[in-house]
Structure 1
Amino acid sequence: MAGRQDTPPKRASARGLRGAKSHHAGQAAEELVARFYERQGYQIAARRWRGGGAEIDLILRLGAMVVFVEVKHSATRDQAMARINAAQMQRMMASAAQFLAGEPAGQLTESRLDVAVVNGTGRVEVLENAYGQG
């Protein structure tokens, strides 16, 4: 076509690439953690469930118990742990309470909130009942 100019494809910004890399790393970490729990007999009830102002990465069942899991990934365990803060814990507990409201036993459902940390080598470490609730 006459007068048509081809424009070069847009390049992704460095920030956009970091964000995409982080998103995919987070999804990979969640998958590692899901498999870790499944090997121990847990069943996945939900992934990335949103309620009460926070997203819960994984919700699992083991018999009648419901386990809420926050997945953190970073190059090291300590870096991943440093990314957990009190406000985030409060939001996760509110979301967990909202989920439990839909359970037959409601808030009386046996439950716990775990934190699963995945380091740069893919090693999974689970801190059961990390928030001291349940």
Structure 2
Amino acid sequence: MRPIQFPRGRSSVPAATTKAAGDAAEERALAHLRERGLVLVARNYRTPGRGGGEIDLVMREADGTLVFVEVRGRASARYGGAAASIGHAKRRRIVFAARHFLTRLAAPPPCRFDVVSLEAGGIEWLKAAFDAG
């Protein structure tokens, strides 16, 4: 049987495997946050149209705070690790999506942006990892 050939410049990992790994990371992050008392409001919230953003998990704290969560998984901490992989452009798209999400609410509650980082060493929940500014 011949090995699968990928076009140059593409990952040697099939997209289905990458998607499955991402879904598994989100499941672990969701379980971790639920164990700590957060309630799921929405999952994989996307803005309509092109060029928008996506929020992996929208959760609610017991005090009513809405938490927009970016889940990042990495096999190793090389190159800064999972949390360091969230650059300015990604943060901007997450904030854009969060603002869009909030327009659907009559009275927006207090909010924050968290990151759940999954690496070989375990899971880390970074509260208020960045702000909307």
Q: TM above 0.5, one fold?
A: yes
Q: In terms of mean alpha carbon deviation, does 11-20 or 34-43 score higher?
A: 11-20
Establish whether residue 47 from structure 1 lines up as the match of residue 43 from structure 2.
yes
- Unpaired segments ≥5 residues, structure 1: 1-10
Q: Distance in 2 between matches of 1:128 and 1:13?
A: 41
1:36 aligns with 32
- Unpaired segments ≥5 residues, structure 2: none
Higher helix share: 1
Q: Distance in 1 between matches of 2:5 and 2:40?
A: 36
- Bigger Cα Rg: 1
TM-score with structure 1 length normalisation? Answer: 0.80
Aligned length: 123
Deviations 1:39-90 (A, max 9, x none): 1111111111102711100000123211000000001243212321101101
Identity of aligned residues (%): 32
Give runs of aligned pairs for residues 1-134 of structure 1, distance below 5 A. Answer: 13=5, 15=11, 17-51=13-47, 53-63=52-62, 64-77=64-77, 78-106=80-108, 109-120=109-120, 123-133=122-132
TM-score with structure 2 length normalisation? Answer: 0.80
Shift of 1:12: 5.3
1:5 aligns with none
Q: Secondary structure at the match of 1:27?
A: helix
Q: In terms of mean alpha carbon deviation, does 16-25 or 49-58 score higher?
A: 16-25
Q: In terms of mean alpha carbon deviation, does 13-22 or 64-73 score higher?
A: 13-22
Q: Distance in 2 between matches of 1:23 and 1:66?
A: 26
Q: Secondary structure at the match of 1:103?
A: coil
Q: Distance in 2 between matches of 1:32 and 1:12?
A: 30
Shift of 1:13: 4.6
Q: Distance in 1 between matches of 2:45 and 2:87?
A: 19
